[in-house]
């Protein structure tokens, strides 16, 4: 009878240990699930940030392209204005020469 009681006690102890192990494993699984949920939330936040950054980069690249096109247009206008300035300066120089000749002729006429 004593042997049976010992065997029963051993079986009860074994069941308690198994129950404790299962309980600990369940707690570990719950902790792991919580950690996975936390990591997934972080992953979602990072993906959103990356998406925002990608959008900002695309906008910046588009703006850069537009500005480069405007600069190219302004450079063309500048080249045209520079040519006009050069031609105008040539005309001014010719007029100055003509005015100088006219003054010289006036002086010669007034001396006569």
Tens of pLDDT, residues 68-112: 999 999 999 999 999 999 999 999 999 999 999 999 999 888 876
Rounded CA-CA distance 107/112 in Å is 9
Rounded CA-CA distance 43/48 in Å is 9
Whether the per-residue pLDDT at 58 is higher than 80: the answer is yes
Pull the structure tokens for residue 46: 């990072």
Measured at the CA of 64, the angle between CA 59 and CA 69, to 5 degrees, comes to: 130
Residue where the block lists tokens 């198994």: 18
The per-residue pLDDT for 48 is 95
The per-residue pLDDT for 65 is 97
Rounded CA-CA distance 30/17 in Å is 20
Give the whole-number percent of the chain exceeding pLDDT 90: 72
The per-residue pLDDT for 110 is 86
* Domain limits, the chain: 1-79
End-to-end distance of the chain based on CA atoms, in angstroms? Answer: 162
Q: Who's near 42: CB < 8 A, 6+ residues apart?
A: none
The per-residue pLDDT for 49 is 95
pTM strictly above 0.85? no
Helix H or strand E encompassing 1: none
Compute φ and ψ for 17, nearest 5 degrees. -65, -45
Q: What is the mean pLDDT of residues 43-66?
A: 95
Whether the per-residue pLDDT at 3 is higher than 60: the answer is no
């Amino acid at each position: 009878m004593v042997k049976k009681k010992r065997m029963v006690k051993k079986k009860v102890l074994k069941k308690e240990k198994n129950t404790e192990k299962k309980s600990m494993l369940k707690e570990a699984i719950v902790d792991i699930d919580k950690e996975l949920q936390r990591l997934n939330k972080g992953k979602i936040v990072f993906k959103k940030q990356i998406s925002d950054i990608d959008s900002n980069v695309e906008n910046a690249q588009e703006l850069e392209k537009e500005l480069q096109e405007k600069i190219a247009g302004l450079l063309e206008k500048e080249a045209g204005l520079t040519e006009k300035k050069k031609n105008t300066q040539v005309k001014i120089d010719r007029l100055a020469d003509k005015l100088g000749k006219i003054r010289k002729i006036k002086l010669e006429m007034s001396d006569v």
